[in-house]
Chain A
Amino acid sequence: MKLITAVIRPERLSPVLEALFAADVRGLTITRAKGHGGETEAIETYRGTTVKMELVEKVRLDIAVSDSFVQTTVDALLAGARTGAVGDGKIFISPLEKVIRIRTGEEDMAAVTPPEPALAV
């Protein structure tokens, strides 16, 4: 199992989610984040105060997957998040020791396999 952490542009979140769901990657967590990835800083002025914004709004995704899903997930992230301009973000992949699903106590592979989705109400 791997933990895939991706930092992407907020405006690419919708395309990324579409690509992930299309690839059947359905368990994930997102966090609003700020980061600096070498892009040109925006200059903003509030009355007399001019600032350079060194941190840019990003979205961070944390996705725990079984090994066989790593490449699929990465492909979906690349397809959804890439614009070609500096600031598209990064994908970090790290080994994952243990996963436990709180509801059932299932562990590891069983815990990262999404349940059949309940019918939308």
Chain B
Amino acid sequence: MDDSTSLDAAGAAFASADLAWMLIATALVLMMTPALAFFYGGLVRRKNALNTMMMSFASLGIVGVLWALLGYSLAFAPGNAFIGGLDFAFLRGVGLEAQGTIPHLLFMAFQGTFAIITAALISGAVAERMRFEAYLLFIATWMLAVYAPVCHWVWGGGWLAEMGALDFAGGTVVHVNAGIAAVVAALVVGRRDDYGRRAMLPHNVPFVLLGAGLLWLGWFGFNAGSALAADGVAALAFVNTLLAPAATLCAWMALDYATTRRTTAVGAATGIVVGLVAVTPAAGFVGPLGALALGALAAVPSYFAIMARGRTGLDDSLEVAAAHGLGGLVGALLTGVFASAAWGPASGALAGDWRQLGVQVIAVVGALVYSGGATFVLLKLIGLIVPLRADATMESQGLDVPLHGEEAYTEGDGAVLLPYFPAHTEPRTAAARTSLDAPSEANAASGVL
């Protein structure tokens, strides 16, 4: 059998520790998208909780499938400096042969979980008003036209890889990329009707904390998994993923306390995410003390950007730009400062190598320009096919019922069962209508208790 031979031949090339760790890391990164759903879902009003969470969950499906069919090839197949070719389309040639020390197929899946969460991150900028159909079209096309090329530039042998840009786990590919797309999406879709007029408060702060905590757990797979091996680099990235967000959390609580004499829970959750974002490009390149400094410093720009953003016309509703765009940008630049040859492959400005910082700037600017421009074009094109926005009535009453036909929190009061069997649609008498509690004959016959 061809299968067994390829397994045996490939099996010899795998390092089983690497293989085991990458299986777990892939699952951890996949979990970050449901975690993001809780983080985002808690931040919106209760009438939009399901819509907001579904924006993340839908990416697990749509981006997951498209990544296997086409996205992976565009990102990682041999191609030109800008985009990969079609050699791996429909997973042709992506089997159990070794890619490094793990099966190529597993590498594809690991990278797929990154594409899924990157697309889902953008949803925070358009929450509570974008139409679901338009959003699905957007994340599908955005992953293929924006994420896959930028991923190719940095990790797939494209022009930024050639230049030596350092992006350990996706500060530029994931966070700067999603952050600028979020700004453009918020501008094109437009601000919520209530924005700047009425208070729009998080409906479930414990969800926000839960989401941030699970994101942190998943991020160990994201960063330490980016070593693609169970080795010292993975251990370094793992520890930096512990330390940098811890420092950001301390700095964030201190900033909160200094400005308002209070430390907020939503602020703490946000600080954790900003720290995770900032350490992402640096995780395998900086030492643990560098990670602490990087994490603490990264809190400052994002904190003040969030404080200021609410007074501007930019309704980036869940602060994707400030947390991911700015956090990723600061992290990418600080990677060029704190990178240490004692720990990783290159030295940064702190060790006197200013060239690396220059390369980091080019990488960030490249992602900003391309992702921003392409996101604008995609949304304008999608807007020609379907409306981008929910209508005003839907928006004021909440998107969950009109777009999804469900409520996040219902006690079922006043819910009248629509009989399943067509024969039972007839005997809906006036008596059955007015008596909400008494089970009607139709209900009893269809087996409802």
Interface residues of A (CB under 8 A from B): 9, 11, 14-15, 34, 36, 41-46, 48-56, 83, 85
Contacts and interface: CB of A to CB of B under 8 A. Distances in A.
B406 interface: yes
B417 A44 contact: no
B415 A85 contact: no
A68 B198 CA distance: 30
B414 A49 contact: no
A55 B413 contact: yes
Interface in B299-320: none
Nearest to A46: B406
A9 B398 CA distance: 12
A118 to B, nearest CB: 20
A15 B415 CA distance: 29
B406 A34 contact: no
A16 to B, nearest CB: 12
8 contacts: A9-B397, A11-B397, A36-B414, A43-B405, A44-B415, A51-B417, A83-B396, A85-B393
Contact of A14 (B198, B393, B407): B198
B406 A45 contact: yes
A39 to B, nearest CB: 11
A44 B417 CA distance: 10
A11 B47 CA distance: 10
Contacts of B416: 41, 51-54
Contacts of B417: 49-51
Contacts of B393: 83, 85
Interface string B136-147: 000000000000
Interface of B: 47, 198-199, 393, 396-398, 401-402, 405-407, 410, 412-418, 420, 436
Contacts of A50: 417-418, 420
Contacts of A42: 401-402, 405
B421 to A, nearest CB: 12
A38 to B, nearest CB: 13
Main secondary structure on B side of the interface with A = loop
Given A42-B401, A43-B405, A44-B406, A14 B199 contact: yes
Given A15-B198, A52-B418, 19 more contacts: A11-B398, A14-B198, A34-B413, A34-B414, A41-B416, A44-B401, A44-B410, A44-B415, A45-B405, A48-B420, A50-B420, A51-B416, A53-B416, A54-B414, A54-B436, A55-B413, A55-B414, A83-B396, A85-B393
A7 to B, nearest CB: 15
**Most B C-beta atoms less than 10 A away, residue of A34, A36, A55:** A55
B414 to A, nearest CB: 3
A52 B406 contact: no
B262 to A, nearest CB: 13
A55 B199 CA distance: 26
Closest 8 CB pairs of A and B: A55-B414, A51-B415, A54-B414, A50-B418, A11-B396, A14-B198, A52-B416, A44-B405
Nearest to A11: B396
Contacts of A41: 416
Contacts of B415: 44, 51-54
A11 B406 CA distance: 18
Contacts of A56: 414
A83 B395 CA distance: 13
Nearest to B434: A54
Contacts of A43: 405, 418
Contacts of B402: 42
A53 B418 CA distance: 10
B4 to A, nearest CB: 41
**Most B C-beta atoms less than 10 A away, residue of A44, A48, A83, A85:** A44
A38 B396 CA distance: 19
Nearest to B401: A42
A43 B415 CA distance: 9
Nearest to A51: B415
B399 to A, nearest CB: 12
A2 B9 CA distance: 88
Contacts of A34: 413-414
A54 B410 CA distance: 13
A51 B418 contact: yes
A52 B393 CA distance: 20
B435 to A, nearest CB: 11
Contacts of B398: 11
Contacts of B412: 51
A87 to B, nearest CB: 9
Contacts of A46: 406
Nearest to B395: A11
Contacts of A48: 420
A43 B414 CA distance: 12
